[in-house]
Amino acid sequence: MRVLDLHSWDVTTSEAGDLQRDLATRVVRSRCLHSAPRFIAGTDMSVDRIRGWARAAVVVVEYPSLEPVEVKTVEGPLAWPYVPGLLSFREAPLVLEALSLLRIDPDLVMLDGQGIAHPRRLGLASHVGLFIDVPTIGCAKSVLCGDYSEPLYEKGACTDLVHRGEVIGAAVRTRSGVRPVFVSIGHRFNLAGAVEWVLHSCSRYRLPEPTRLAHLAAGGRIAVF
């Protein structure tokens, strides 16, 4: 998979914040899928905080079966410390390296993290989306910023996630009676489409199958092929 060379990762925290504000203006918040995707990729990362080491994983599933057809993992040191709001500078380099190894070009990429549901509107899913220029969706387990009302308890129920008067995402119930996930635009998608494809990608679990399998692969519980 092709990965663009947008900028250096060797920046200060102040420069990183400025870079996020600039890149956020380039994020496309409209849907570009004209038909159902054939391949959907999911990414996740496991971190060894003691060693300062991480493993990024990407799993490609075929739609609509949601069966995995390609798995890639990459391990390496974490060049950045944990800084709230700057997670993409810590995780994106390894995630992008794993994506670059793919033989199959996915039509859609889901990331375990925020898209524009971020104080500067550039979370991991949006940042990575700009580097790969493929439709991306952020699907996070928790809220970074914004407020929402609890959605109804049946699968498919959702409510707006709002920050400073702007709708930046949605709290989505992917299974009846379980905690919602938080969906936001990554790049080249609109919010309604992002919610739709997260729901289409869920099977028996709370998390979409692509990111759930990537979580397992990042933990070494799925073979790489």
pLDDT tens digits, one per residue of 10-47: 999 999 999 999 999 999 999 878 889 999 999 999 99
3-state secondary structure of 153: coil
Residues 6+ apart with CB under 8 A from 152: 173
Q: Say what the pLDDT of residue 31 is.
A: 80
pLDDT averaged over every residue in the chain: 95
* CA pair distance 37, 106, nearest whole angstrom: 8
State residue 222's pLDDT score.
62
| Pairwise CA distance, residues 59 & 72, whole Å | 7
The rounded distance, in Å, linking the Cα atoms of 84 and 210 is: 25
Asked if 90 and 102 count as a contact pair (C-beta separation under 8 A), the reply is no
> How does pLDDT run across 37-53, given as a tens digit for each residue?
999 999 999 999 888 89
Q: What is the DSSP letter of 190?
A: -
Residue 106 tokens, joined: 């996915």
Domain ranges of the chain: 14-218
Listed residue (42, 77, 71, 75) closest to 56, CA to CA: 75
Statement: residue 225 has pLDDT above 70: no
Collapsed DSSP state (helix, strand, coil) of residue 111: strand
How far apart are alpha carbons 75 and 24 in whole angstroms?
28
Strand order in the sheet with 39-48: 67-77, 53-62, 39-48, 108-111, 136-140, 181-187, 166-172, 158-163
Say whether pTM exceeds 0.75.
Answer: yes
- Go through the chain and tell me how many residues it has: 225
How far, rounded to the nearest angstrom, does the alpha carbon of residue 51 sit from its chain's CA centroid? 25
Comparison of pLDDT for 35 and 110, the residue scoring more: 110
Q: Fold for 14-218, please state it.
A: archaeoglobus fulgidus dsm 4304 fold (3.30.2170)
